[in-house]
Structure 1
Amino acid sequence: MTTNPPYELYPEYLNQVFDEFGKKNIEAWLIGPRARDLAAELPIIDAASFDLTVDAALATIESIFFELFSVEPQTSKDDRPKLLTFKVPKTDDDGYVTFNVGPFRNYLPPLRSLRGQNLTGIILDLATREVTVQAFAYDSQGDMIDPFGGSLDFADKLIRPVFPVDTLFRESASWLLKIARYVGRYGFDAAKEVRTAADRDAANILDVPRDIWRKEMDKILCGAHPGKGLQFLAESRVLSFILPEIQAMYAFGDGGSQHKDIWAHTKQVVSNSDATPVVRWAAMCHDMGKVWTKQVFRDDKIHFFRHEDMSALLFEGIAKRFDIVGEDYERIHYIVKNHGRVNLYRDDWTDSAVRRLIKDVGDALDDLIAFSKADLTSKRADRVEMIRALLADLQIRVMDVREQDALVQPLPKGLGTQIMERFDIPAGPKVGQLRNMLIHAIEIGNLEPNQDSEVYLSYLADLLVDSNQDD
Structure 2
Amino acid sequence: MNYKEALQNDIFKAISSAAKQLNLESYVIGGFVRDLLLQRGDAKDIDIVAIGSGIELAKKVAENLPTQPKVQIFKTYGTAMLRYKDIEVEFVGARKESYAEDSRNPVVENGTLEDDQNRRDFTINALALNLSEASYGELLDPFNGINDLKNGIIRTPLNPDITYSDDPLRMMRAIRFATQLSFKIEAKSLSAISKNSSRIKIITNERIVVELHKILESETPSIGFLLLEKTGLLKHILPELTALKGIDEKEGQRHKDNFYHTLEVVDNIAKHTDNLWLRWAALLHDIGKAPTKRFSKKVGWTFHGHEFEGSKMVYHLFKRLKMPLNDKMKFVQKMVLMSSRPIVLAQDIVTDSAVRRLIFDAGDYVDDLMTLCEADITTKNPKKFNKYHNNFKLVREKIVEVEERDHVRNFQPPVTGEEIMETFNLKPSREIGMIKEAIKEAILEGDIPNEHDAAYALMLQKGKELGLKAKD
TM over 0.5: yes
Match of 2:128 among 111, 126, 137: 137
Matches within 5 A, 1:393-432: 393=397, 396=400, 400=404, 402=407
- Asked if 1:104 is matched to 2:108, the reply is no
- Asked if 1:338 is matched to 2:338, the reply is yes
- Asked if 1:51 is matched to 2:46, the reply is yes
Matches within 5 A, 1:55-454: 55=50, 57-58=54-55, 60-61=57-58, 64=61, 67=64, 70-73=66-69, 82-87=80-85, 98=87, 100-104=89-93, 106=95, 108=97, 110-111=99-100, 120-140=111-131, 141-206=136-201, 214=209, 216-223=211-218, 225-252=220-247, 262-271=258-267, 272-273=269-270, 274=273, 278-290=277-289, 293=293, 304-312=303-311, 315=314, 318-319=317-318, 321-322=320-321, 326-327=325-326, 328-345=328-345, 349-350=351-352, 353-362=354-363, 365=366, 367-379=368-380, 380=382, 382-383=386-387, 385-386=389-390, 389-390=393-394, 392-393=396-397, 396=400, 400=404, 402=407
Indicate if the aligned counterparts of 2:128 and 2:140 stay in contact, CA closer than 8 A.
Answer: yes
CA distance in structure 1 between the partners assigned to 2:88 and 2:339 by the alignment: 43
Residue identity matched to 1:331:
F
Which one has a bigger Cα radius of gyration?
1
Distance 1:277 1:385, change over 3 A: closer
Report the equivalent of 1:420: none
Offset at residue 234 of structure 1 (A): 0.8
- Asked if 1:20 is matched to 2:17, the reply is yes
Offset at residue 144 of structure 1 (A): 1.4
Secondary structure of 2:91's counterpart equals strand
CA distance in structure 2 between the partners assigned to 1:368 and 1:234 by the alignment: 27
Indicate if the aligned counterparts of 2:165 and 2:196 stay in contact, CA closer than 8 A.
Answer: yes
More moved, 247-256 vs 17-26: 247-256
CA distance in structure 1 between the partners assigned to 2:402 and 2:24 by the alignment: 60
Secondary structure of 1:53's counterpart equals strand
Secondary structure of 1:326's counterpart equals coil
Indicate if the aligned counterparts of 1:187 and 1:224 stay in contact, CA closer than 8 A.
Answer: no
Higher fraction of strand: 2
TM (normalized to structure 1)? 0.64
TM (normalized to structure 2)? 0.64
Secondary structure of 2:80's counterpart equals coil
Distance 1:16 1:248, change over 3 A: same
CA distance in structure 2 between the partners assigned to 1:344 and 1:242 by the alignment: 32
Distance 1:83 1:161, change over 3 A: farther
More moved, 110-119 vs 229-238: 110-119
CA distance in structure 2 between the partners assigned to 1:383 and 1:232 by the alignment: 33
Offset at residue 262 of structure 1 (A): 3.4
Offset at residue 84 of structure 1 (A): 1.6
Offset at residue 246 of structure 1 (A): 1.5
Structure 1 residues 30-82: Cα deviation after superposition (integer angstroms, max 9, x where no partner): 33454224434x497xx4756251426456546546645x2343897999973
Secondary structure of 2:89's counterpart equals strand
Indicate if the aligned counterparts of 2:364 and 2:409 stay in contact, CA closer than 8 A.
Answer: no
Distance 1:136 1:348, change over 3 A: same
| RMSD over aligned Cα atoms | 5.2
Indicate if the aligned counterparts of 2:280 and 2:332 stay in contact, CA closer than 8 A.
Answer: yes
Offset at residue 233 of structure 1 (A): 1.6
Distance 1:325 1:43, change over 3 A: closer
Indicate if the aligned counterparts of 2:129 and 2:140 stay in contact, CA closer than 8 A.
Answer: yes
Indicate if the aligned counterparts of 1:345 and 1:390 stay in contact, CA closer than 8 A.
Answer: no
Structure 1 residues 376-406: Cα deviation after superposition (integer angstroms, max 9, x where no partner): 4455463475266346536645864559989
Offset at residue 121 of structure 1 (A): 3.8
Indicate if the aligned counterparts of 2:261 and 2:378 stay in contact, CA closer than 8 A.
Answer: yes
Residue identity matched to 1:326:
L
CA distance in structure 2 between the partners assigned to 1:85 and 1:35 by the alignment: 19
Q: Which runs of 5+ in 2 are unaligned?
A: 421-446, 454-472
Q: Which runs of 5+ in 1 are unaligned?
A: 88-96, 415-430, 439-471
CA distance in structure 2 between the partners assigned to 1:137 and 1:54 by the alignment: 9
CA distance in structure 2 between the partners assigned to 1:224 and 1:43 by the alignment: 14
| Percent of aligned pairs sharing the same letter | 22
Indicate if the aligned counterparts of 2:62 and 2:82 stay in contact, CA closer than 8 A.
Answer: no
Secondary structure of 1:130's counterpart equals coil
Count of aligned pairs between the two proteins: 405
Distance 1:78 1:11, change over 3 A: same
CA distance in structure 2 between the partners assigned to 1:54 and 1:336 by the alignment: 46
CA distance in structure 2 between the partners assigned to 1:199 and 1:367 by the alignment: 36
Indicate if the aligned counterparts of 2:93 and 2:110 stay in contact, CA closer than 8 A.
Answer: no
Offset at residue 206 of structure 1 (A): 4.7
Secondary structure of 1:30's counterpart equals strand
Residue identity matched to 1:73:
P
Secondary structure of 1:123's counterpart equals helix
Distance 1:349 1:178, change over 3 A: same
Residue identity matched to 2:369:
L
Distance 1:319 1:28, change over 3 A: closer
CA distance in structure 2 between the partners assigned to 1:333 and 1:67 by the alignment: 51
